[in-house]
Amino acid sequence: MIARLTQNVSRKLLRPSFRSRVCRSNIAVRKSSTLTPIIPPSPDDFDLVSLFDQPQCNHRTRPVSVTGIFQHTHLTTPSAFTALADSTLVRAQLLTARILRAAQSRSELFKVVKNLDRLSDLLCGVIDLAELLRNAHPDPQWVQSANDSYEKLCEYMNVLNTNVLDVVLHDPEIVKSLGPEAYQTALIFWRDFEKSAIRLPPESREKFVSLSSEILSLGHEFVNQASAPRPAALIDASELEGLKDTGMGARLQRQASSTQKSLLVYPGSHQAYMIMRSAPLESPRKKLYVAAHSSTPRQIECLERLLRARAELACLVGWDSYAGMVLHDKMAKTPENVNYFLDTFLDRTAVHAQEALHALRLRKQSHLKTTSLPVIQAWDRSYYCPPEPPEPPIPLPPLSLGRVFMGLSRLFKHLYGIWLRPSEVLPGEVWHPDVRKVEVVDEEHGVIGWIYADLFARNGKACGAAHYTVRCSRRTDDDDEAGDLRMSGVEEGLLEASQSFELVKRHRLRGVQGEYQLPLVVLLCEFSRPSVHSGPTILEWHEVQTLFHEMGHAMHSMIGRTEYHNVSGTRCATDFVELPSILMEHFLSSPTVLSLFDTNGFSTDSQTGNNHRDPCHFIDTHSSVLLSVLDQIYHSPLALDSEFDSTAVLAYLTNTRSLIPHTPGTSFQTQFGHLFGYGATYYSYLFDRAIASYVWRHIFSSSPVERELGERYKREVLSYGGGKNPWLMLSALLKLPALEGGDAAAMQTVGQWGIDDSSVSSRH
Note the pLDDT of residue 112: 93
Q: How far from 210 is each of 215, 216, 302, 313, CA to CA, in Å?
A: 9, 10, 17, 10
Do residues 165 and 190 lie in contact, with contact meaning Cβ atoms separated by under 8 Å? yes
- One DSSP character per residue, 672-732 reads -THHHHTTT-TTHHHHHHHHHHHHIIIIITT-TT-HHHHHHHHHHTGGGTTSS-HHHHHHH
Can you name the CATH fold of 38-67+394-610? Neurolysin; domain 3 (1.10.1370)
Catalytic positions are 550
Within 8 A by CB and 6+ apart from 756, the residues are 693, 696, 697
Give the Cα separation of 94 and 482 in Å (integer).
Answer: 11
Do residues 45 and 645 lie in contact, with contact meaning Cβ atoms separated by under 8 Å? no
Give the Cα separation of 196 and 180 in Å (integer).
Answer: 24
Can you name the CATH fold of 72-226? Glutathione S-transferase Yfyf (Class Pi); Chain A, domain 2 (1.20.1050)
Give the Cα separation of 36 and 599 in Å (integer).
Answer: 8
With CA atoms as reference, report the closest residue to 657 among 636, 687, 628: 628
Counted residue by residue, the chain has a size of 764
Distance of CA 687 to the CA centre of its chain: 14
Burial class (CB in 10 A: 0-12, 13-18, 19+), 89: buried
Give the Cα separation of 566 and 556 in Å (integer).
Answer: 14
Q: Helices (DSSP H) in 196-267: which residue ranges?
A: 202-226, 246-259
Q: How far from 109 is each of 1, 169, 400, CA to CA, in Å?
A: 21, 10, 55
Q: Detail the DSSP E strand segments found in 316-367.
A: none
Give the Cα separation of 107 and 111 in Å (integer).
Answer: 7
- Kind plus residue range of the DSSP H or E element containing 112: helix 112-136
Predicted TM-score (pTM) of the model is 0.89
Within 8 A by CB and 6+ apart from 488, the residues are 94, 97
Residue 387: what residue type?
A: P
Q: Which residues of the chain have pLDDT under 70?
A: 1-41, 55-65, 158-159, 161, 244-250, 253-261, 485-501, 599-614, 757-764
Provide CATH 1.10.1370.40 ranges for the chain: 38-67+394-610
Note the pLDDT of residue 242: 81
Question: In degrees, to the nearest 5, what angle opens at C-alpha 182 toward C-alphas 181 and 187?
Answer: 100
Q: How far apart are the first and last CA of the chain?
A: 29
Query: What CATH number labels 335-390+612-753?
Result: 1.10.1370.10
Provide CATH 1.10.1370.10 ranges for the chain: 335-390+612-753
Give the Cα separation of 454 and 59 in Å (integer).
Answer: 12
b/e per residue, 145-180, with b = 16+ CB within 10 A? Answer: bbebbbebbbebbbebbbebbeebbeeeebeeebee
Give the Cα separation of 692 and 687 in Å (integer).
Answer: 9
Give the Cα separation of 286 and 647 in Å (integer).
Answer: 19
Provide CATH 1.20.1050 ranges for the chain: 72-226
Q: How many CB atoms lie within 10 A of CB 619?
A: 26
Q: Between β-strands 506-507 and 516-517, what pairing exists: parallel, antiparallel or unpaired?
A: antiparallel
Distance of CA 351 to the CA centre of its chain: 30
Q: How far from 41 is each of 36, 60, 597, CA to CA, in Å?
A: 11, 21, 11
Phi first, then psi, for residue 284 (nearest 5°) are -70, -35
